[in-house]
Structure 1
Amino acid sequence: MALSDSDLRRPRGWALLTWERPRPELIRTRPWAWRLAVATVCFGAFMGQLDASIVTLTYQALRNQFHTPLAAVQWVSLAYMLTLVALLIPVGRLSDKHGRKLVYLYGFGLFTAASAACGLAPTLSLLIVFRVVQAAGAAMLQANSVALVTTSAPPERMRAALGMQAAGQAIGLALGPTIGGALVDTIGWRWVFGINVPVGIVALVAGHYLLPRTRQRSGGDRIDLPGVALLAASTTALLLALSVASGLGLPQWAAAALLALAVAAGWAFVRRQARCADPLVDLRLLRTGGTAPGLFGGLCGYLVLFGPLVLVPVGLARQGIGALQSGLVLTALPVGFAVAATLADRLLPPAWDNRARSRAGTLGCVLALALMTLLPLREALLPAPLALLGLALGVFLPANNTAVMRAVPATAAGTGGGMVNMTRGLGTALGVAAVTLTLHLVPGRTGIAAAFAVLTACAVLGWTTVARRPGRTARGNARGNASGGGP
C-alpha cells in the first residue's frame, strides 16, 4: 500500500508519536543520502553483534557479584535470545504496517534505555528482566535492518549496501570479546551494558534525520499471538529444564515437569501452525527441497559458534586467567568468521556451489572442535583452532542460509527469512545451554574436554544433515534475501 504525500503530512498532538519524520531536504536530495541511511543502520548491526559476543565475558564476574551458579547466570544470555526468537516475526509484520523507520527508532530507544538499566541492575533477577526488555528493542532493530537498507539504496548499489551492513555486523562480532574483556577487567561488568548508551544516543539522533520514511506499507496481516505464546512457552520450558539439570536452584522433579510442558507446548504450536491461516512458521515450506535440513544444519552451526563463547572464558577463568586475556584469545573465532564471510566469494573455487561450501565448512568445524577436544586448554594453543572454527563457520553459515532462502518460493521470502532468524536464536541459546549442562555434569578439567566433544558431535550432526539433503533448489526467488549469514 503506497502512501500519498497527504498521508505523510505532519500530524498534531499524540499522533506525532506515530509519525515518521521526513529527512531534511538538504539531505534527502543528495545522491549520497542512501549512504548516510545505510551507515545509520550499521549502528544497529554493530551494536547487535557486539552485544551478542560481549556478554559471555561477564559470566565469571556475575557469578562472583551475585554468588550464583553458572546455570543461573546463563539466563542473562538465554532470556535475551528467547525474546528475540519470539518477537522477530511479529515485530517485522508490525513494522511493515506502521513504518520501519518508526519501529527502528523506538527499538533503538528501548534498547538504549534497557542497556542503561542492565548496567544499574542491583540483582541478577532484575538484570535478566532488563535483558528481556533489551531484547525487545533489539528485535525492533533486527526485524527492520535489511528492509531499511534495501529501501534506502538504489537497486544498482544494493549489494554494496548489504555489504556495508555485513561489515558492521562483522566488526561488532570481532570486537566484542576484546572490548568485553577489557571492560570487565578494568571498570567492571556493568559497563559491558553501559557502552551501548552513548552509541544508542548517537544512533537515535542520526536515524531521526537520516533514515527515509516508509512509503510502501502492508495492510497488516494478523499476528498469530497464540502461536507466539506457544513458541515462547515451549522454548523457555525446554531451556529451563536444561538449567535445572545444570544446577539451577529448583527441585529435580521440576526438570521433568518443564520438559513435559515444552513437549506439550511444542506439539500445540505445530498443530496451530498447520491450521492457522497466517502462521508464524509455514510448515509447507519445510517440505520444500532442502529447507528443513538446511534449517537444522544452521541450528547446529549457530550452536557450535556460540558454545565456545561461553566455554573458553569459563575454562580459562578456572586457571586464573582474566577476562581481558580470555577476550583476546576468543577474538580469533569472530575474526575468522568475519574474514571468511566477507572473502569467501573471492577465495573459494568458483565451481563450488552452496552445497559444496556447506560441506567444506562443516568439515572444518568438525576438525577444529576435535582439535580443541584433544588439546589441553592452554592460552597459547587456543587461537589457531578457534580461528579455524571461525573460518569454517564463515564459509558454512552464509552458504547454508543462501541455500535455504533459494529453496523458499519468492512469495514466502519474508517467512523464510524469519525462520532463518528463529533458527539462529534457538541455536545460539542451545549452544549456551549445552555447554553449561556439560560443565555441570562433568566437573573439573574433564568437563572442558567433554563440552568440546559435545560441540564436535553437534558439528558432525550438522555435516551429516548437509551431506544428505537434496541439492535441488527452487528458482526465481529472492536470492538477495540470504543475508542471514551473520550470527
Structure 2
Amino acid sequence: MTPRRSGSRWPVALTRERARPEGIRSRPDAWWLAVGTVCFGAFMGQLDASIVTLTYGSLGTEFHTSLAAVEWVSLAYLLTLVALLVPAGRLADAHGRKLLYLYGFAVFTLASAACGLAPSLPALVVFRVVQAAGAALMQANSVALVTTSAPRERMRTALGVQAAAQALGLALGPTVGGALVSTLGWRWVFGVNVPIGLVALVAGHYLLPRTRTRTPVAAFDWAGLGLLAVATTGALLGVSAVSGLPVPAWGVGLLFAVAAGAGWAFVARQGRSPAPLLDLALLRVRAVAFGLVGALSGYLVLFGPLVLVPVVLTARGSSELTAGLVLTALPAGFALAATGGDPLLPHSLTDRGRCVLGAVLFTAAVAVLAAVPPAVSWLVPVLMVTGMGLGTFTPANNTLIMGAIPARASGTGGGLVNMARGLGTALGVALVTLALHLSDSRVQAAGSRWSALILVGASVVALVSAWLGPRRAEQGPVRTR
C-alpha cells in the first residue's frame, strides 16, 4: 500500500462508526450495556448543570468581578446548548449517532479541562461555549441511542434508567460541588469531568451500536441554524432579564420581539427548505406535539423547586446544609420511580395512563407547596412525591414522543426532547426567581406563594397535555425530498 493511500485512510477513520466487538454485540444484554454507557452523559450533563452555580462566589473573588458577570458562565452554556440541540440531532441522523455522540464527549471533556485551566473570566465563558457544543452533541443523541438500542417493549424502562441517571447527577451536584469548592477549589468542579469523560469515551467506542438507519442531507441549513440560535437566545435572555438580569425594560421587549421574529422566520424557512433542520411534519404528530409541551412543563416543575426551596428555608432560619438535604428528596423520588416504578405498575397501564398518573401526583404535591407554609417536617415527603410523579411521567412521556418518530429521525427527535427539557429548566429557574425577585423581605411569603402557584400552573399544563395525548402509539412520517 502506498503512503498516499495509507494517509487517505485518516479522514475515513474519523468519519466512520466502528462496530462493537462480536462478543459484545451477540450478548442478550448488549442493549443494557449501551444504555448504561449513555447514562455517563446523562449523569454528567445534570451534574454539570447543578454544580457550576456553587462556583459563583469563588469566581467573583478570584477574577474580581460582579455576580452579573459571573452568571454568564452558566448563561453562555445554556444559550449555546439549547440553540444547538436540534441541529446536532439532525447532523447525527445524517452522519451517525454513535459517531457524533463520541465526538461530543471528546469536545466536552477537552473543554472541561480548558475550563479548569481558564486564566480569566472571558476565557472561561468561551470554554463554556465550546463545552456546551460538545454537550449538545451528547444530549441530542442520548435519547436516540437509548431508543434505537433497546427493544421496543423495553423502551420505557431504558428511558427511565436514563432519566434516573440525570436525577442522580442533579442530586449529587450540590453535594459534590460544595465539597470540591471548599476543599480543592472551583477549578476541580470542571476537572472532575475529565476522568469520567475518558472512561465514557472508551466505553462508548466498544459498547454503543452503529447507526442502522440514516436520513442523508444534501446541504446543511446554516441560515436555519442562525435563525434558531437567534430565536432561542433572544427568548432565554428575555426570560433571564425579567427574572433579575440587569437589562432595561426596552431591552427586554426588544429581546422578545427579536426572538418572536426569528422564530417565525425559522418556521417559515423549514417549511420550504429542501434540507430543513427540523421537519415540521414531526410537530404535526399528536404524540410529539403534546409530548413536547409535557416534557417542557415537567422539567419546569423539576427545576423550579431547586431555586424555591433553598431560598424559602434559609429565609426561615434553616442552614444551607439542611436546605440541600431536604432538596435531595426531589431527585431521589424521581430516580426511585423512574427505575423501580415500572414493575410495580399494572402492565395494562398505557404510557398515556402513566403520564396522567404521574402528572396527577406532582400536581397534587406542588399544590400543597402553594397552600401550606413551608416547613422542613413536611417538605421532604412533598418533594419526594413530586419527584415520584415526575419519575413516573417523564419516561412514559419520552416513550410516546420517540415512539412516534421514525428511527431514521431519532436524532432530531432526541434533540427536540432535550430542547424542551432545556427550555423547561430555564423557565423553571427564571420564573421562580422572578416571583421571588418581585417580592421583598416583608412579603417573602407572598413571593414563595406565587412561585409555588407557577409550579402548579406548569403541572396542570403537563396534566392536560398528557390527557389530550394519543390513546395509542403513533408513528409519524418524515417528509422526504
Query: Which TM-score applies when normalising by structure 1?
Result: 0.80
Deviates most, 315-324 or 243-252? 315-324
Q: Which amino acid counterpart does residue 475 of structure 2 have in structure 1? A: N
- Matched AA of 1:470: L
Residue type of the partner of 2:200?
A
How far did 1:422 drift? 1.9
Distance 1:155 1:127 in 2: 42
Q: Which moved more, 1:193-202 or 1:436-445?
A: 436-445
Distance in 1 between residues matched to 2:157 and 2:342, nearest whole Å: 14
Q: Please point out which of 173, 180, 193 is paired with 2:170.
A: 173
Matches within 5 A, 1:249-328: 249-289=246-286, 291-316=288-313, 324-328=321-325
CA change 1:45–1:404 in 2 (3 A) is closer
1:454 pairs with one of 451, 456, 466: 451
Work out whether 1:192 is the aligned partner of 2:189: yes
Q: Which moved more, 1:235-244 or 1:207-216?
A: 207-216
Q: CA deviation at 1:302?
A: 0.9
Q: How far did residue 210 of structure 1 move?
A: 4.7
User: CA 1:471 to 1:187, structure 2 compared with 1: closer, same or farther past 3 Å?
Assistant: same
Range that drifts further, 295-304 or 166-175: 166-175
What is residue 201 of structure 1 aligned with on the other side?
Answer: 198
Q: Which residue of 2 aligns with 1:477?
A: 475
Please tell me the residue identity of whatever aligns with 1:95. A
CA RMSD of aligned residues (A): 3.8
Sort the Cα spacing of 1:305 and 1:208 in 2 relative to 1 into closer, same or farther, 3 A: same
Aligned-partner Cα distance in 1 for 2:211–2:287: 34
What letter is aligned with 2:140? A
Give runs of aligned pairs for residues 41-440 of structure 1, distance below 5 A.
41-58=38-55, 73-149=70-146, 165-211=162-208, 217-220=214-217, 222-289=219-286, 291-316=288-313, 324-405=321-402, 415-440=412-437
CA distance in 1, matches of 2:124, 2:311: 20
Take 1:86 and 1:15, find their aligned partners in 2: how far apart are those partners? 29
- Alpha-carbon spacing, 1:117–1:211, altered in 2? closer, same or farther (3 Å): same
Please state whether the residue corresponding to 1:420 is helix, strand or coil. helix
The 8 Å contact of residues 46 and 168 in structure 1, kept in 2 or not, is answered as yes
Separation of aligned partners in 2, 1:34 and 1:350: 22
How far has the Cα of 1:162 moved from its partner?
Answer: 5.8
Give the conservation status (yes or no) of the 8 Å contact 1:355–1:399.
Answer: yes
Q: Offset at 1:335? A: 0.8
Aligned partner letter, 2:178: G
Please say which of residues 246-255 and 263-272 is displaced more in the overlay: 246-255
Pick closer, same or farther for the CA change 1:386–1:458 going to 2, 3 Å: closer
Alpha-carbon distance, 1:460 to partner = 2.8
Quote the offset at 1:375 in angstroms: 4.5
Q: Deviations over 1:85-140 (max 9, x none)?
A: 22223223323443434322221121112222333445554433322211111122
2:3 is matched with: none
Secondary structure in 2 aligned to 1:220? coil
Q: Separation in 2 of the partners of 1:438 and 1:419?
A: 28
Say whether the 8 Å CA contact 2:20–2:207 is kept in structure 1. yes
Task: Say if 1:296 and 1:462, in contact at 8 Å, map to a contact too.
Answer: no
1:337 Cα offset (Å): 0.6
State the distance in 2 between where 1:11 and 1:452 align: 64
Structure 2 portions without partners, runs of 5+: 1-5, 477-481
CA contact (8 A) 2:47 2:172 kept: yes
C-alpha separation in 2, matches of 1:247 and 1:284: 37
Alpha-carbon distance between aligned partners in 1 of 2:303 and 2:347, rounded to the nearest angstrom: 29
Aligned residues: 470
| Offset from partner CA, 1:311-369 (integer Å, 9 cap, x none) | 33445566786655443222111111111122332333455434443333333323322
Say if 1:171 and 1:20 are closer, same or farther in 2 by CA, change over 3 A: same
State whether structure 2 residue 447 is matched by structure 1 residue 467: no
Name whichever of 27-36 and 333-342 sits farther off: 27-36
Structure 1 distance, partners of 2:29, 2:462, is 44
Mapped to 1, the partners of 2:144 and 2:282 lie a distance apart of 22
